[in-house]
Structure 1
Amino acid sequence: MRIPFTGPLPPPLIIPPSAVTKEGAVSALTHFLKAPAGSAAPLSEHAQQAKTKTVLLTGAGISVASGLADYRGVNGTYTQNKSYRPIYYHEFIASHESRKRYWARSFLGWRGLNRSKPNPAHFAIGDLGTLGLVDNVVTQNVDSFHGLAHPKLKTVELHGFLRALVCLSCRRLMDRDVFQQRLAELNPAWAEFLQQLLASGALDTENPVERRRLGFRTNPDGDADVPGAPYYTFRYPACPHCLRRPPILKDGSKGHVDVDVDGAWTSSPSGSAPSEGVGILKPNVIMFGESIPADVKTAAEEAIDSAAKILVVGSSLATYSAWRLVKRAHEQGMGIGILNMGGVRKEEVFFGELLPERHHGRGSGDGHNRWEALRRELVRASLPAEEILPLVVDAIRSSSSV
């Protein structure tokens, strides 16, 4: 995954202008989801009939109402903490000390993420699936909320998920709750510190600003930071399967993991992991600098290609892996809707033809007709998804019952 776009985002374009209000946004999105979609790309009659539904692309903003931080919102990680820098894949793989720091912060942050639940926006998406308007979701999020809220609606987890770890040697998965218990056993002092955080109320509030006031920063991926904490003391286990049955390396030799008597990793003489990464457990997410698996990338592209329209919810599209999917939809002439608080990366690429300076003089004829068609197939609103999407579902149900 490429490093995210870090430049300032422009003010959101609002399309149609009435979508600046809650009522206008609900009306525009209702029409967007229900209206038959046109296409700028030539399609066979069979393909045109098949492409009638909307694919959703969701980001961290949809989970803010669940108590999780986002990245670029008013209280987002990048907004409130200008020095924030996520761990990179090569750092995690190469450095025992980097993994200590990562797992210590994850140990503190996991409880908050694990107790969070899907919010009305997630359930409304499930309702849209039941209504036959949405048949695929592609999410950038790693919180597993979509699967919990609408298990029957197909979801592609573009960046993986935090509910499990994966061993980089044997590729077996390990449940995150089981791993959390193992971390507590290996780190009794840290487990006590976590209890102190709980007692302070730092994990009781869902307000990121209040958490920071209590000396506790949380990020959307379950990562938590306590300034001054002695991360170098943290211990973490190796893959239990690789300890029992060490894998055979590429050169034919048997892999080996250095652990202490409790089964916790110990540093190799160089302070780094073995070259083959034997027994390293990694969160089953795509870290920055790591490639999205080919099968996941293909599944996301197929979800886009099979739809008539795409609706982005709660994403500024700052990561290229997400932005390119909307670009793919745009190049196919698909209808595009965005419901996101604040600006979106290069959204003028998708909505540019509706900018005022581009439709002067289109009062009649083909130009006017094209602009009117675009206006019906493009929606942009900057309002909370947890408020808007349930109202959209209600509006669609009401119109269907008339």
Structure 2
Amino acid sequence: MKSLLDLLMSQTDWLVLTGAGISSLSGIPTYRNSEGKWQRKSPVTYQEFLLNETSRRQFWARNIAGWRFISAAEPNIAHLALVKLEKMGMISGLVTQNVDGLHEKAGSKGVIDLHGRADSVLCLDCGDMQSRQSLQDLFKKHNPIFFNKVERIVPENDASIDNLDFTSLIIPSCHLCGGLLKPDVVFFGEVVPHSKIDLCMDMMKVSSGLLVVGSSLQVFSGYRFCNWASKQGKPIALLCNGDTRADHLAIEKTRADCGPVLRHWMQLSNERIYSDEIGKLN
């Protein structure tokens, strides 16, 4: 851990990219193991969601359970440490692959939600947006028996949702046009908007280096940040509990829970600022 902290303290203006590992301490399950492989059934792709009603029911069955965990989650020490590091100038930007909104809830500013936000639902026909919680209430109204089963599931055993019978699940439609509803997130097989990619590229250009926290980088939308940093000759640091797709590009990697490490970085930065202020008074 010391070598990682030495690197992080050697310069300011890091771009931070976070993944599912940072939110696990908040009770949100991660779906890959330490080797970056799926711990449960593969997610429904965008194409399957659009074209197959059974796949849509399967997706929403999982999502009903997952939303319970996301909506109840609170920022943990890792999220809060990043807020303070941002205020200190150690971080120039924050991009997250997560859709839980916990960085914003913690107080981070200018967060780029690379894959969207799970708390909003989009109608694919008319473009209307509604809150995910309002849809959850409709799901519960139309599927009380299914909800009773889902509410017994805890985060540590969330994979059991795949064993529930979802064939009779009633899926609400858009209240305005009767169209197809989808969470305002990027599915597998779907493309991150070009405008968002351009903004992320600009953030990488003005940063001094890249710190990846809690991500295996198996998805290219996250891995591309390491390609950018490498081509720009900027240091890449990895903080996660397992293997990543960019291990060969990083100059420093620490296998550890991200919360204590980020908090330690925040404390060291705070001590330096305090020391500098005392020095100015002498």
Letter of the aligned partner of 1:67 in structure 2? G
1:3-402 matched pairs, under 5 angstroms: 19=1, 24-25=2-3, 28-29=4-5, 31-36=6-11, 53-74=13-34, 78=38, 80-81=39-40, 84-151=41-108, 153-195=109-151, 197=152, 202-203=153-154, 206=155, 208=156, 211=157, 216-217=158-159, 225-227=161-163, 229-243=164-178, 279-348=179-248, 350-351=249-250, 378-402=251-275
Letter of the aligned partner of 1:321 in structure 2? S
- In 2: Cα distance, 1:169 partner to 1:65 partner: 37
Please report how far the alpha carbon of residue 157 of structure 1 lies from its aligned counterpart in structure 2 after TM superposition: 0.8
- In 2: Cα distance, 1:391 partner to 1:303 partner: 25
Letter of the aligned partner of 2:92 in structure 1? D
Higher RCO (Cα < 8 Å, 6 or more apart): 1
- In 2: Cα distance, 1:105 partner to 1:58 partner: 23
- In 2: Cα distance, 1:70 partner to 1:100 partner: 21
Contact 1:53 1:308 in 2 (8 A): yes
Secondary structure of the structure 1 residue equivalent to 2:212? strand
TM-score, normalised to structure 2's length?
Answer: 0.91
Please report how far the alpha carbon of residue 162 of structure 1 lies from its aligned counterpart in structure 2 after TM superposition: 0.6
Q: Which runs of 5+ in 1 are unaligned?
A: 1-18, 37-51, 218-223, 244-278, 352-377
RMSD after superposition: 2.0
Deviations 1:54-108 (A, max 9, x none): 1101111111111222233359872x44xx2110101101122221222122223
Contact 1:57 1:138 in 2 (8 A): yes
Count of residues in correspondence between the two structures = 275
- In 2: Cα distance, 1:63 partner to 1:76 partner: 16
- In 1: Cα distance, 2:263 partner to 2:217 partner: 23
Letter of the aligned partner of 1:86 in structure 2? P
Secondary structure of the structure 2 residue equivalent to 1:154? coil
- In 1: Cα distance, 2:246 partner to 2:144 partner: 48
Deviations 1:233-273 (A, max 9, x none): 00011111224xxxxxxxxxxxxxxxxxxxxxxxxxxxxxx
Q: Would the alpha carbon gap of residues 399 and 393 (structure 1) be closer, same or farther in structure 2, given more than 3 Å must change?
A: same
Please report how far the alpha carbon of residue 341 of structure 1 lies from its aligned counterpart in structure 2 after TM superposition: 1.1
Counting aligned pairs with the same residue, the percent is: 30
Structure (1 or 2) with the larger CA radius of gyration: 1
Question: Could you say which residue in structure 2 is the equivalent of 1:253?
Answer: none
Secondary structure of the structure 1 residue equivalent to 2:94? strand
Contact 2:35 2:243 in 1 (8 A): no
- In 2: Cα distance, 1:160 partner to 1:108 partner: 19
Secondary structure of the structure 2 residue equivalent to 1:225? helix
Contact 2:26 2:73 in 1 (8 A): yes
Contact 1:135 1:154 in 2 (8 A): no
- In 2: Cα distance, 1:189 partner to 1:113 partner: 22
Runs of 4+ residues over 6 Å off in structure 1: none
Secondary structure of the structure 1 residue equivalent to 2:125? coil
Please report how far the alpha carbon of residue 161 of structure 1 lies from its aligned counterpart in structure 2 after TM superposition: 1.4
Contact 2:75 2:102 in 1 (8 A): yes
TM-score, normalised to structure 1's length?
Answer: 0.65
